[in-house]
Amino acid sequence: MIYLDYCATTPMRDEALETYVQACRSFSGNEQSLHDYGEEAKQLLHYCREEIAALIGGHPHGVYFTNGGSDSNITALLSLAYGNSARGRHIITSPFEHPSVYQALGKLQEEGFTVEEAAAKPNGEVCLESIASLIREDTILITVCHASSETGVIQPLAEIGKLASDAVFHTDAVQTFAKVPLDVTALRLDAISMSAHKIYGPKNTGACYIAPHVRWKSIYPGVSHQDGFKPGTVDVPGIAAFTTAARVMHDQLEANRDRWQNMQRSFLQQVDEETFTLFGDPVKRLPHHLALGARGYEGQWMLLECNRRGIAISSGSACQSSLSAPPKSLLAMGYTPEDAHSLFRISFGIHTTDEHLEKTAAALQEITARSQTNV
């Protein structure tokens, strides 16, 4: 089967698997224990924090490990909102966020916080003028994803960071970490969310970065692990495997980007532009992501037809609670519900070949041609 759903998840790479096995064998202690086994695990965890921080231009003391991207988003946003609530209760976001971001913001709204969404531009970027107009004296938090999992469009974080002023600026970097250049200082970011299984690491492992100078309040009273950020014994082997995957992926960033961008261009040349539409900016996008729509066809139907032919694609975020609703991001960009329902996503990975994409393009052409013939 041809797998083209790498934005949903990735298989663990050999280097990460080897690190995991070695860490399980050699670092089995609880990193909070005071004996030598615990100290060895603690030292490995410290090394992992240093490595992750180095990849994003951050400080090791700001790295907290989580159970994945959704956990990072929810825990970070709640902790940041509670920690800064004395200054205000106004939050700004975008219509391009992962469902976990909206889950966290929904809870905050129930607790009396005000959440406003900035407008979207037709190319899938958030409107900077809209963000500027929404900022108030009591704005304490701005959260805008680095790139949407649905559209693949990369957001202008540096420009948003300049507007943020005294507000804490958070981004969901799950789709971009170690695949797109990311420097928290250059982008003026205070906090970011990351995930291991998007970069060939283990599932149920991730990280959150909160700059040491930023205020936050634990959502887990009385917890001692990771300065109270997350409860429970830390999965040191999983974190070590995550760190290895991140380092290898980051080292191959430029080579992967160039190869995937060539694949993007080649694929789009192989499908009929009269039938297939690319959603979002054709340039300011993830190099391994294509958000497509076939005119007159449901995205879920295209997914099922591809699956019948041995090709795995997606019809949106794997974490969506309802696939029957049209993607919110496309509606915000000005598409009709019918157009938005046509979305399907093809995402490449390190194992994707030109032959995989040629077969997929041919299958898409065959699917639409056959259905038109049967009308």
Catalytic residues: 319
CA distance 24 to 236: 8
Give 251-264 as a DSSP string: HTHHHHHHHHHHHH
Residues 6+ apart with CB under 8 A from 72: 66, 174, 193, 194, 195, 206, 207, 208
Least Cα distance to 151 among 295, 305, 53, 7 occurs for 7
Residues 6+ apart with CB under 8 A from 167: 92, 135, 139, 140, 141, 142
CA distance 100 to 320: 9
CA distance 350 to 338: 33
Distances (CA, A) of 25 to 58, 232, 246: 30, 21, 21
Give 100-149 as a DSSP string: HHHHHHHHHHHTT-EEEEPPB-TTSPBPHHHHHHH--TTEEEEE--SB-T
Task: Supply 81's token pair.
Answer: 């909102």
319 C-beta neighbours (distance < 10 Å), count: 13
Q: What are phi and psi of 183, to 5 degrees?
A: -130, 115
